[in-house]
Each structure stands twice: as C-alpha cells, then as structure tokens.
Amino acid sequence: MAVAGSAMHAMTANKFEKYCETIRDVLWDDSKCLAAIQQSCQVLDHVLGGTYDRDKAKESTIQTQAVAIITADGASAGGHN
C-alpha cells in the first residue's frame, strides 16, 4: 500500500501489471526498498502500539488503520496513494 497505493486492480486487469511494476521498481532500488521497509515498520509500530502478540496481529482493523496512516502521510507529504 505504501509503495503502489491501496487500490489494487484485479490480476486480470492491465493496470495490475503497472501496479506490480511499481512495486518491482522499488524493490530493485536499494535506497527506495530500504525506505519502503522502514515506512512499513513505522506503520506497523503505530498500528500495533508496541503490542506484537499474536492476538493483536489478528485484529481485523489492522489494514484499515494502516490505510488511514499511509493516506494521511501521503496527503501531508504531497504524495499519491
């Protein structure tokens, strides 16, 4: 979500290939990949609130919370998610 946005198209759609290319390009660039992993860790830290036990990780609201954080960060940084 942080790399290519939260709107993932169906695997049969032409836009899905572009979505995958965006992720691939980040993963193949060491500095972009590190930044994406660090951002993802920060989002998880924020969503989980420092509680990393199994019960917390299974909560159904984690994705919704992560999208809200990523969207807010993108809006505040002028990004496009």
Q: Per the domain annotation, does 9 fall within a domain?
A: no
Residue 5, domain member (yes or no): no
Let me know if residue 81 belongs to a domain. no
pTM over 0.85: no
**Rounded CA separation 30/34 (Å):** 6
Report if residue 4 sits inside a domain.
Answer: no
Q: How far apart are CA 81 and CA 16, in angstroms?
A: 15
In a domain, 7, yes or no: no
9: DSSP letter: P
Note whether residue 58 is domain-resident.
Answer: yes
pLDDT, tens digit (0-9, with 9 covering 90-100), for 31-52: 999 999 998 888 888 888 878 7
SS3 49: coil
The number of distinct structural domains making up the chain is: 1
Q: How confident is the model at residue 23 (pLDDT cuts 50, 70, 90)?
A: very high
d(CA 71, CA 65): 10
The domain in which residue 38 lies consists of 14-76
Q: Give CA–CA dist 46/69, Å, rounded.
A: 9
